[in-house]
Structure 1
Amino acid sequence: MMIDRLQKHVLPVVIVVLALLAVWYAAALLMNHGLAESQAKLKGEVLTPSGLWLKSYTLDKPMLPAPHQIAAEIWKSTVDVAVTSKRSLIYHAGVTLSATLLGFVLGTVLGIVLAVGIVHNRAMDKSLMPWIIASQTIPILAVAPMLIVVLNAIGISGLLPKALISTYLSFFPVVVGMVKGLKSPEIIQLDLMHTYNASQTQLFWKLRFPSALPFLFASLKVGVAISLVGAIVGELPTGVVAGLGARLLSGSYYGQTIQIWAALLVAAACAALLVFLVGAVEQIVNRLMGVRPEMRQ
């Protein structure tokens, strides 16, 4: 049983990861080969083909860092330095995650409130929903600097501006998912509740909201990941010295591509962790509601 489970779930992931690593190393060699060759000529070095290949994987500022270089940078920036150090990726990740979680909570609350209003009020559905959709057509890279400048002008700075950018991105999937979920009960179910003389409040809590939970959690997984993107984008135009966005910005200033890729992978790991936590909460809620595993498939 255990061997079958490993073959079914673990082995495909391992094969994909190994294939990605092979492609990555090949791409790093192709992209860094010319740079390594030019540096060797400038220094008057005569390298064998194998030596040139090795140099392509050990450049200080490669065009595309090799996986082992990024792993070494992550290790150096997480294990070899104190968590409170400005050089620690854990410290920078904590700064970004604080804005991410605040923005995610605000976006979730706003999205649920708007969805409830849209489902129960036809005027809100016709007037508000088109504007909600249109708001997502504006590039966040254009919105973020303007929002931060305006908030700084009225004395609001620090965590809140970044959180509001995360809110701007994360509320949309929650609105769409909750509207779809709250409207998911079938007519026969609604008629049955009306037969029982259920009030609108009872109809919401006993039918609409439980039916919307699968849609809500699917939206939350998207929202929490995009909220992290919003927090990172919010750090880019502010000139902050802490956060994964600041780490990316400083790396781009000085051409530290290894630092940039290390920050990107840590950001991806943070997003995966947040999505995993939302999924864990979903499983707990499903268990409390008595949902059987086969019902979730």
Structure 2
Amino acid sequence: MSAVAAKSSGLVARIAGGKVLPVATVVAAIMALWYVGVVFLNAPFQEMMYKNAGQTSYTTSQLIADTMEQERPVLPSPQQVAREFWKTTVGTPITSKRSLIYHGWVTLSSTLLGFLIGTVLGVGLAVMIVHSRTLDKSLMPWIITSQTIPILAIAPMIIVVFNAINITGIVPKAFISTYLSFFPVTVGVVKGLRSPERLHLDLMRTYTATAGQTFWKLRWPASVPYLFASMKVAIAASLVGAIVGEMPTGAVAGIGARLLSGSYYGQTVQIWSALLTAALMAAMLVMLVDVIDRVVRVKMGVRP
């Protein structure tokens, strides 16, 4: 019994000392607030429904239970969102236009293309800025200024311009993703390329290293941690850009289209299940970048 008790206490200590307990605590707090919000926001309409049906007596527990099962609630309950998510992922063929997997793949295609273009563009701009004082003084302020333009304002303009030159499909949405994703990559890589200490740069000059050798042997390896940190931000921003890009196009496929159709018909449960899908996609994409980051660091000889 003592061995079992010691093993159990050790497991509890590992959970408490690791990431499980903090994450579980935050999730529990969010769920509690969610349920409170469901009751608070849906109760007035539920009481009106009781009144219209001539039902004058009801218990508090009945009211709470009914607020969580309304057909079109102001705020759907977690179980309603979970059921809708399960029905539109596992319970629906992925080729169906009612499937969130189908819509998620459409959005994911634009996200990845925009992220790829944004990363290449961001790295290219960062290299030019670091190696040219003129570009640093002239280009960097414009890059920063570009992010002050609301994406909701510029997205319809981008769609109209691309449609005018007969470019449709995922490319216009990918361009919006590029617009959001290149900025964090540019700023992060600029910071990374400038991170080597002066002593290290002087040592490269002592070795009569060329600019290219200094870049590949010193600046680029030093910038890799900054690159992946900025890519985690960029890929989440790219997903947001793809979803926003689907809204002004009147698209019939994608997470953005799913959100629009839910808002048109007052299907709040559908809206929240689409939001849950987008959140899960963002989490998986950031985790994928993190895994690639760890692999690259191991290949570079960085100790875990």
Q: TM-score range by the shorter chain?
A: over 0.9
**Residue 5 in structure 1 maps to residue 17 in structure 2:** no
Alpha-carbon deviation of 1:5? 3.0
Structure 1, 36-45 or 230-239: larger mean CA deviation: 36-45
Whole-angstrom CA distance in 2 between matches of 1:115 and 1:5: 42
Residues 1-297 of structure 1: pairs in structure 2 closer than 5 A: 3-7=12-16, 8-46=18-56, 47-293=58-304
Whole-angstrom CA distance in 1 between matches of 2:134 and 2:55: 74
* Moved beyond 6 Å, runs of 4+: none
- Runs of 5+ unmatched residues, structure 1: none
Deviation string, structure 1 residues 111-140 (Cα, Å, up to 9, x no partner): 000000000011111111111000000000
What's the Cα RMSD here? 1.0
Matched letter for residue 72 of structure 1: R
1:241 counterpart SS class: coil
Matched letter for residue 115 of structure 2: F
2:168 counterpart SS class: coil
1:228 counterpart SS class: helix
Aligned pairs, number: 293
- Runs of 5+ unmatched residues, structure 2: 1-9
Whole-angstrom CA distance in 2 between matches of 1:274 and 1:153: 32
Give the structure-1-normalised TM-score. 0.97
Matched letter for residue 111 of structure 2: T
Alpha-carbon deviation of 1:3? 4.4
Alpha-carbon deviation of 1:43? 2.1
Report % sequence identity: 61
